[in-house]
Amino acid sequence: TKLTPKEIKDEEDDEDLKPPRPHIERHKQGHEVFAGIIEPRDVKGLIATDLAGRFPFQSFNGNNYIFLLYDYDSNAIVVSAIKSRKAADILKGYESCYKKLGEAGIKPVLQRLDNEVSDILIEAIKKKNIDYQIVTSNDHRNNPAERALRFFKEHFISSLSAVSYTHLRAHET
């Protein structure tokens, strides 16, 4: 599982890993991409958002989804129930979660978003003067909200099973 010194040297010499050279002709269509590493200890004010999959049952209020916002510095998970995956509903969930952060005195600086994001949400983020990053598709490691969502789901399911059990026990007596 470890690379030999020769393999390490070959990887360093790989042409694909070298930074792109600046284009002389800028009018050609194309994209310039830059990748860098930010140590987690250097991140201050990072939040991440994600949307859970559709809940199997609709709530009494007509909600089908859960919008999750994760604050990296405080390790806080803030959620809001939303009706659908429409941009307006996602924006309502975002505003609700962001308001809770503000009430706690947390002022985000950088937001990481899932790659499925609406222009309305991007505009709301810009109005709050927050920088944002959109993670690449199928790469869940770059979005801290993915892990927070998994953690939230585990706790939410265990809470639902406890409620269900308590509800059944109350009807037996």
Condensed to tens digits (0 to 9), the pLDDT of residues 6-65 reads 665 555 544 444 444 444 444 555 556 666 665 656 567 889 988 888 888 888 889 999
| pLDDT higher at 69 or 4 | 69
Dihedral sign of CA atoms 154, 159, 162, 167 in order? negative
Mean pLDDT of the chain: 77
91 band by pLDDT with thresholds 50, 70 and 90: very high
Measure the CA–CA gap between 71 and 57, rounded to whole angstroms: 28
Measure the CA angle with vertex 87, ends 89 and 154; round to 5°. 60
Note the pLDDT tens digit of each residue in 116-130: 788 889 999 999 999
Instruction: Name the pTM for this structure.
Output: 0.67
Distance CA 141, CA 19 (A): 23
Q: What is the structure's pLDDT at 24?
A: 46
